[in-house]
Amino acid sequence: MFPIRIEFHPVWGCSRLHRRIRTGRLILQNLILLSPKIHPKRCYTSQGYPFDLYEPSKPLLGTLLMIYGFTLAGEKEPRLIRFAKAFTAAGFRVVVPDLPGLKSLDLRKGDLERLIDMMAFLHRELEGSVGVVGFSVGGGIALTAAVNPSLQGFADPILLFGPHYSLPDLWSSFRRNKESFPKTKKGWDDFIWLQLMLAYRQRKALGFNAAEQFELVELLKTYCSKPSLGDKRRAYERLVQPHGLLDTQGEVVDLDVLESLSPRGKLGKLTAQVLLLHDSFDPLIPPSQSQFMLTELQQRGIPHQERLVITPLLSHVNPRAVLNLPDLLAILDMIGELFTRSNKV
Task: Tell me the pLDDT tens digit for each residue of 282-314.
Answer: 888 999 999 999 999 999 988 888 999 888 766
> What is the separation of C-alpha 115 from the centre of its chain, rounded to a whole number of angstroms?
14
Cα separation, 260 vs 130, in Å, equals: 23
The identity of residue 98, as a single letter, is D
User: Domains along the chain?
Assistant: 5-168+254-340 (3.40.50.1820), 187-243 (no CATH)
Q: How confident is the model at residue 213 (pLDDT cuts 50, 70, 90)?
A: very high
Residue 329: the pLDDT is 55
For the chain, give the percent of residues with pLDDT over 90: 50
Residue 13: the pLDDT is 45
State phi, psi for 247 to the nearest 5 degrees. Answer: -150, -170
Q: How confident is the model at residue 225 (pLDDT cuts 50, 70, 90)?
A: confident
Cβ atoms 280, 311 nearer than 8 A: yes
DSSP letters spanning 181-238: --SSHHHHHHHHHHHHHHHHHTTTTTT--HHHHHHHHHHHHTTTTS--HHHHHHHHHH
For the chain, give the percent of residues with pLDDT over 70: 78
More confident residue, 175 or 135: 135
Angle at 267 (CA atoms; ends 261, 271), nearest 5 degrees: 125
Write the pLDDT tens digit of every residue in 44-89: 999 999 999 999 988 888 899 999 999 999 999 988 888 888 888 8
CB count within 10 Å of CB 253 equals 15
Cα separation, 215 vs 211, in Å, equals: 6
